[in-house]
Amino acid sequence: MSPHAGAAEIPEQRVRDLWTRLTRQMRDGVAEGAIRTLRPGVKRGRRSAPHWVYKHEGTACLRCAARIRAEELQGRRLYWCPGCQVVP
Ligand SMILES: [Zn+2]
């Protein structure tokens, strides 16, 4: 989903699905000692970082090939895919 979507724009079921996915990722992250957004064994370029878009600015998205963007949002660095993350 778009990182620029307001909370009220996101349908309730999407919020519930996101909660389920994120709490599972956090549990896995505690067990592994790191948050992972790529499946184990999947590599992202030459780096071994286990993240789909985090710190991959300017590289192609693994799903849609759009260039990963980075910007400041609320004082934090935001990495996102403008091809995949378009709707709430
Ligand atoms: Zn994408």
Q: Decide if 88 contacts 14 (C-beta within 8 A).
A: yes
| The amino acid at 47 | R
Ligand 1 centroid to Cα of residue 81, in Å, is 5
Ligand 1 centroid to Cα of residue 6, in Å, is 20
Tell me which fold the domain 7-80 belongs to.
Answer: Helicase, Ruva Protein; domain 3 (1.10.8)
Q: Domain spans of the chain? A: 7-80
Encoding tokens for residue 8? 């009220």
pLDDT for res 47: 56
User: Measured between alpha carbons, how far apart are the two ends of the chain, in Å?
Assistant: 5
Interval 7-58: pLDDT, tens: 899 999 999 999 999 999 899 889 988 877 777 777 666 555 677 888 889 9
Encoding tokens for residue 34? 């790191």
Angle at 76 between CA 70 and CA 53, to 5 degrees: 40
Ligand 1 centroid to Cα of residue 3, in Å, is 13
pLDDT for res 46: 58
Ligand 1 centroid to Cα of residue 84, in Å, is 4
